[in-house]
């Protein structure tokens, strides 16, 4: 039984995401929401999943903010 070349050349250890990079991404997401017009106090109370869900549709966020004002 032979081994495929593709099996030989694959990495055995997958690179992991670092905690520093995760904090950096979350900070960038928070800044993007503040840039869209969401209040900083509101963004500070949100968890990362809520922030990501809002950033999926930035047009809806700005439209809802305009409607509330």
Predicted local confidence at residue 61, as pLDDT = 93
Neighbour tally for 38: CB within 10 Å: 19
Query: pLDDT tens digits for 22-57?
Result: 999 999 999 999 999 999 999 999 999 999 999 999
* Confidence band of 4 (pLDDT split at 50, 70, 90): confident
Contacts 24+ apart (CB under 8 A), 12-19: none
Q: Considering the entire predicted model, what is its pTM?
A: 0.74
Tokens of 67: 């409607």
């Amino acid at each position: 039984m032979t081994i495929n070349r593709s099996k030989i050349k694959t990495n055995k250890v997958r690179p992991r995401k670092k905690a520093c990079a995760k904090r950096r991404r979350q900070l960038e997401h928070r800044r993007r929401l503040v840039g869209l017009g969401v209040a900083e106090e509101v963004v500070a109370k949100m968890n990362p999943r809520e922030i990501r869900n809002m950033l999926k549709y930035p047009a809806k966020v700005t439209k809802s903010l305009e409607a509330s004002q």
